[in-house]
Amino acid sequence: MKKHFRVAIDRERCKGCELCIPVCPLHLLAMSTTMNRKGYHVSETVRAAECLGCIKCARMCPEAAIEILNVP
Amino acid sequence: MKTPTSGYQRPASLTDAAMHYCAGCGHSSVHKLLAEVLDELEIRERTVGVAPVGCAVFAYFYFKCDISEAAHGRAAAVATGIKRALPDRIVFSYQGDGDLAAIGLTETVHAANRGEPITVIFINNTVYGMTGGQMAPTTLAGQITATSPTGRNPATMGCPIRMCELLNTLEQPYYIERVALDGHGGMVATKKALLTAFQTQVSGKGYSFVEVLSPCPTHFRCSPQDSLKFVGQKMAAQFPVRIFRKEGVPVHA
């Protein structure tokens, strides 16, 4: 059975370094047009339902702001 | 150990505090990997860290283990004292290049020469980050910094110090490796090196040293993505990325 994952990005931890964006094999991450409370543009998901759970983005994130959750 | 298909949770050994590092800084990456290692080896409760002077001076805000601050460069000496007084603790020092390779060079070399059973984590980003990007002992030849505005000139300023090679001339160290935070592969390699270093200490083998070539986007004056390329291309050319000593035996390239 196919596993489903949810990409949970903590907007207030993200500093907009964009290191997570190029590592996603399915290009599911992009920069937001809005800012967080500190004034950073943050990373957000597009087509989030397609996530394969490879956790490359979470591994790259220096701030540990990305969590990949297993959706039952 | 977590498998890739089980998702990823923020390491339990990190506190909830927001890190003060710049966007894309290698320090935050290594903090995260270090916390993962403390979780995986289940050693957080008996680990004592020693924080440096430099950008990582606030490391005690970010880890849920005991951390002691050390005078500039003296982290290896403080770690030696803690390990000798409390031999059942896992003791690591976390130092930058200004701290470890400049003011603290003596302490670093002698701790390694005595084969103290501690783990030393060396963050090499070629500049003094906290004070404004001045030239460090590890600055590359020709690299422009705040105090070498026309580029480092080896004729008058010397060449970058290779710490792994230097320590590898000693007899006592047990494990020495250099890794580069140059992308996803670099993150995985760095985690593996840190894991090996801590396993070395957990099994009571001896001195372990991990040098991490680390991005500093602010003082490289480029984007976080380009600073990873600088690490992988320019820095790795000067500082070969490999294992220098394994199980107490020098490894030849």
Nearest to B8 among A19, A23, A55 (CB): A55
Smallest Cβ distance to B7: which of A17, A22, A69? A69
- For residues A41 and A53, the answer to whether their CB atoms sit within 8 Å is no
Residues in chain A: 72
Beta bridge partners of B74: none
User: What pLDDT is stored for residue B2 in this prediction?
Assistant: 44
pTM of whole model > 0.80?
yes
* Contact present, B151 and B143 (Cβ < 8 Å): yes
pLDDT interval class at A1 (50, 70, 90): low
Quote the minimal CA–CA distance from B81 to chain A in Å: 31
pLDDT at A2 over 90: no
Give me the pLDDT at residue B147, please. Answer: 95
Please give the Cα distance from B140 to B126 (Å, whole number).
7
User: What does the DSSP 8-state code read for residue B143?
Assistant: -
pLDDT for residue B253: 80
pLDDT of residue B6: 79
Q: Considering only the beta carbons, identify the residue of A19, A53, A56 that sits closest to B225.
A: A19
Distance of CA B249 to the CA centre of its chain: 21
Q: Using a CB-CB distance cutoff of 8 angstroms, which residues of chain A are in contact with residue B18? A: 12-13, 63
Q: Which fold has domain B13-250?
A: Rossmann fold (3.40.50)
Q: Do B188 and A19 touch (CB under 8 A)?
A: no
Residue ranges per structural domain of chain B: 13-250
Give the amino acid at B243. Answer: I
pLDDT tens digits along A4-60: 899 999 999 999 999 999 999 999 999 999 999 999 999 999 988 899 999 999 999
**Given this model, what pLDDT does residue B252 score?**
87
ipTM reported for the complex surpasses 0.85:
yes
Q: Which CATH number fits domain A4-71: 3.40.50.150, 3.40.50.300, 3.30.1330.10, 3.30.70.20?
A: 3.30.70.20
Distance in angstroms (rounded) separating the CA atoms of residues B206 and B47 = 16
Q: Which residues of chain B have pLDDT under 70?
A: 1-5
Structure confidence at residue B5 (pLDDT) = 59
